[in-house]
Amino acid sequence: MPSAKLVLDAAFTIAPVPRRLFGSFVEHMGRCVYTGIYEPGHPTADDQGLRRDVMELTKEIGPTVVRYPGGNFVSNYRWEDGTGPKNQRPTRLDLAWHSIETNQFGLHEFDDWAKKVDTEVMMAVNLGTRGLQEACDLLEYTNHEGGTYWSDRRIANGAKDPFNYKLWCLGNEMDGPWQVGHKTPEEYGRLAAETGKAMRLIDSEIELVACGSSNSRMPTFGQWESTVLELTYDTVDYISLHAYYEETDNDPLTFLASAVNMDNFIEDVISTADAVRARGRHKKRINLSFDEWNVWYINQFSGDGPKPNTVEWKPQPRLIEDEYSVTDAVVVGTFMNSLLRHGDRVTVACQAQLVNVIGLLRSEEGGAAWKQTIAYPFEQMRRLATGQIVQVVASGDKFDSPTYTDVPVVDATATYDEETGRAALFVANRSLEESSVLEVDLRGLGATAVREASTLHAGSNQDRHTTNLEDHSAVAPRPFTDHVLDSGRLKASLPPLSWTVFEFDCLRG
């Protein structure tokens, strides 16, 4: 039976938990917006056509920030199309997803939705088919008080108060040849620097994200970040990372170890950003915005599955509606761990996407909405990770997969909140077949009691492929009792292929 030993001590912390680490993403893609968050005529729709059932589930999951409106979509989007009277909004071709965009949902609708679910907006500007002027127009529209052309149009469209968005993406995946308006790093870096400079003249308090690589397998990875940051260092605050993982070739071990790749990706981007800092003798550090991450069965999409340009032009086509399993939930837990353990530099992260499109949630037109398996690790960490990220000193059994070596069977992160006197521990057992014995020395946190413990794994009559498609509550965290805390030492038996979460009461001070 595999085992792991951890030591946690409040004296050894990494950074405060960045609240924006628990972000998600709403793109005009497939059924994320239309029949996802917006469906006039749905039995639960409010007077603006926003689905109350999806809003309730969103509030439970609690994303702290939501990126909008894309994604690849943003690179051919005219933001003005989604403003003003709905019967005057144009219908357009969306080239990114080969879809019809009716523009019945736009900026004001999204702002209303974000306020209702109590989340921050992370806005993206189009640097594919558009540029500096349109980005400035949008910022003037959203953030300027009034008395100018664009701010007065916002007021005329019903929003007296500015939206005041602080966090802005300068384009999306501009390194990708699939991107409408794809650019070289030099072209993009200059455009991003000049656009960011002008945007800061409108609002000096905004935070700007430059596009990094679309994934670490891109042939330009590393060189792209280096060139872009050389050109934008003084203007931007973050460089972005995107990554999607899937189980391929019947190789669950490599899939279960995917967070190793995520850790390496993050550390490589930190090194690259810091090398640019050193070369330029800059004082500030560039932080990381991991603003797209998830499990995505992309081979089913770009392999034998339907490709956007082979489907007919229609509104809200079903695109990449992956159904997530127990295994996916455990892997997503390890992604959350990867982000949290790098929370000193990864200070923004957005799971992609919120609903239907590789979604935390699923919804059916005119029908039900429910949580996918992967929503649970997200929701738990967002709720319980507060205060400081604690360094985890770990030893234990490791495994090799066809791609990765020396992968810890048990993957863990922890937080400690001095103000509330609570600590949290997030643990994945990557062993497919075996329980793992976990021993944690929590004396340095002053842990006195387990307040809450739950585990997500395949229950009886289930296997690791079980999803929530048929029975919407088939896979969820269940109370976990197979543990004992004695004199600040925890001993637990983690079920095979599981995601387990503990919350502790601690002595304060």
Contact residues: ligand AHR, CB under 6 A: 27, 29, 70-72, 172-173, 214, 242, 292, 352-353
Distance CA 152, CA 148 (A): 6
Q: Least separation, in Å, of the C-beta of 461 and ligand AHR?
A: 33
Q: Least separation, in Å, of the C-beta of 398 and ligand AHR?
A: 32
Cβ distance to ligand AHR smaller for residue 354 or 453: 354
Contacts of 34 (CB under 8 A, 6+ apart): 102, 104, 105, 315, 316
Cβ distance to ligand AHR smaller for residue 346 or 485: 346
DSSP one-letter string for 90-148: PPEEETTTTEEE--SS-HHHHHHHHHHHT-EEEEEE--SS--HHHHHHHHHHHH--SSS
Cβ distance to ligand AHR smaller for residue 35 or 72: 72
The helix/strand/coil state of 451 is: strand
Residues involved in catalysis = 173, 292
Contact between residue 400 and residue 430 where contact means Cβ atoms under 8 Å apart? no
Handedness of CA 457, 459, 465, 471 (dihedral sign): negative
Cβ distance to ligand AHR smaller for residue 292 or 328: 292
Relative to beta strand 314-315, strand 99-101 is: parallel
The helix/strand/coil state of 406 is: coil
Cβ distance to ligand AHR smaller for residue 73 or 165: 73
Residue type present at position 272 = T
Contact between residue 334 and residue 411 where contact means Cβ atoms under 8 Å apart? yes
Quickly count: other Cβ atoms within 10 Å of residue 438's Cβ: 25
